Structure 1
């Protein structure tokens, strides 16, 4: 299992039971899965004549430069947030668009690798940035869009702003590229989410002796978050109009605060889309997303279910995918929510594919692939 998903699932247990969650920002465990994922092709050159039209927010929808609505439906590809080499993300991008008919790819990336700060990187991140760029070209050259998801947790950090400054300058006004500031915020207030503030973290083994200054003690106890609004402002100061995606609280399941005074301000860009993540143990679809969906475009950046139940969650709260998947796809289609299925990967659960031949899994991959090809699903039961 993707180690980052492990931390997500642990925290979701806490969300359900009220217990304290394990921190999600711990370093991932080593990648111990067999490395039989496909080899990425040689980098393809950018072909701007093939790129899609620029998007902007219009009410609660996305429209292109001709004013026509664009409904983003696609696949979420992990790997580049786990190891700098990724797991064949460029190849998966091509297969996802050409064979699964996705018109958007959500690419999980990591600011640390972008700057070459992993011990395995000796080139300052040059190869990693080239790999991300290849994925961008692979999507854009096929007329599709790509979301760059900084796959981090808890709250925006100052180092994320450094990352987004560079990414915004590189992909400024690229018509195919959307910016997702942070993957899954959690454990903070809506005030802190938007405006920033001190994020307290409990750490084991912290030396609080008299030899530490007050500043050092505070640093050991947490960090100052600049907040989502400052991240938006900074991206816009680069001149980048690209649509920005902001994830809600509760590991991106809770968007209720957006309609209660916490929406982000974006006077100079193409607008904000709000991200919602939903899995087969979540309840409260209506109260957590529909009020916001009535006013703003929604990006269901992660959605999925697996027949193999998660060991980190109570078994009884994990619904059978064969009953849950048709309803969530019907819900997404009924409200025309933009979405990317998690995950277009053979072991980062819940999986859409059972192997690296991209064979769709029966319970999740088959219906998701059908939905991407236009099959309609009926919503029979809300959760």
Structure 2
């Protein structure tokens, strides 16, 4: 009892979530069993949270501890995604130290708050940047080896690239990470913006443990309806463990209509399949999928009128589901 009380007191002093409440204390290290990501108790944790935007443009002002603290305390997020922009401008290829510093800031605060965090190589052309990606993830794996909060997402949204190319890249990156971190969850992408999960399921990465696959959708996009759900259903049935590392309330261009009925259909599907998810995105850009209205402050503490309709909806979903 005295030890637990001391841990809670430490949490209050440092600003971390209470020991008894935080998602990582409850779920522990994540592992893959069959077609499920499971927690230390052998059940899917169903993490739900929010993705920061590209670390290149306007969204970069939200890469700070105060925003992470607010997403955890007010939105009740149990997972955060740090989307490190690789290209075209001022990304990792041009400014690696600056980008690493932004990502480490977010990851360290997520760890402090007791939530999970995706280190996302936010790149559509990972196959062209293998040496840089290897160097980045080797550094991250050395730094965060065995820290249960950390999940490596090694390639965000390969475009119209063959699965063989994506798989070859993934095998190289996984092998590099496993030199330093033998256990933490690694998330692999798939062709056509993380939609061809059924193709990946037909020839999955082998020879490594704790490998899951990202699945992306935009809830009101005309091309992301029953057919896309069917692809994911097929992949799950074939044994592929999925995590929704990105989804938006609108269309795939970030804009479009916000259709509540279509969003509900996707949310019902995600809950039925016990999938963890991360919503796109923390930015104040004037877009349907943006969580914040233009001019929203860069340190969290957002009021209701500083949230977009998407922001209000996602906050309500998280506060309702992440009890």
TM-score over 0.5 (shorter chain): yes
Q: Deviations over 1:226-266 (max 9, x none)?
A: x21111112112234210011111111221212212x1124
Q: Matched residues in 2 for 1:276 and 1:59: separation? A: 17
| 1:264 aligns to 2:205 (yes or no) | yes
Q: Secondary structure at the match of 1:135?
A: helix
The Cα RMSD (Å) is 3.1
Q: Matched residues in 1 for 2:286 and 2:180: separation? A: 34
Counterpart for residue 275 of structure 2:
337
| 1:273 aligns to 2:220 (yes or no) | no
Change in 2 beyond 3 A, CA 1:79/1:193: closer
Counterpart for residue 119 of structure 2:
148
Q: Which of these residues, 273, 277, 286, is aligned with residue 229 of structure 2?
A: 286
Q: Matched residues in 2 for 1:290 and 1:103: separation? A: 25
Q: Which has the larger radius of gyration?
A: 1
Change in 2 beyond 3 A, CA 1:272/1:372: same
Counterpart for residue 103 of structure 1:
78
TM-score, normalised to structure 2's length? 0.77
C-alpha deviation, 1:62, in angstroms: 2.3
Q: Matched residues in 2 for 1:75 and 1:327: separation? A: 19
Q: Which runs of 5+ in 1 are unaligned?
A: 1-43, 119-123, 196-226, 377-383
| 1:370 aligns to 2:316 (yes or no) | yes
Counterpart for residue 171 of structure 1:
144
* Structure number having the greater helix percentage: 2
Q: Matched residues in 2 for 1:105 and 1:239: separation? A: 20
Give every structure 1 segment of 4 or more consecutive aligned residues whose post-TM-superposition deviation is greater than 6 Å. Answer: 44-47, 112-116
Counterpart for residue 212 of structure 1:
none
Matching of residues 350-369 of structure 1 within 5 Å:
350-354=289-293, 355-356=296-297, 357=302, 359=304, 360-362=307-309, 364-369=310-315
Matching of residues 176-195 of structure 1 within 5 Å:
176-195=149-168
C-alpha deviation, 1:61, in angstroms: 2.3
Matching of residues 109-148 of structure 1 within 5 Å:
109-110=84-85, 117-118=94-95, 125=97, 128-148=99-119
C-alpha deviation, 1:68, in angstroms: 4.2
Counterpart for residue 37 of structure 2:
62
Matching of residues 2-17 of structure 1 within 5 Å:
none
Q: Which stretch shifts more, 272-281 or 350-359?
A: 350-359
Q: Which runs of 5+ in 2 are unaligned?
A: 1-13
Does the CA-based 8 Å contact 1:79-1:87 persist in structure 2? Answer: no
- Number of equivalenced pairs: 284
TM-score, normalised to structure 1's length? 0.66
Q: Deviations over 1:39-63 (max 9, x none)?
A: xxxxx8999x875421111222222
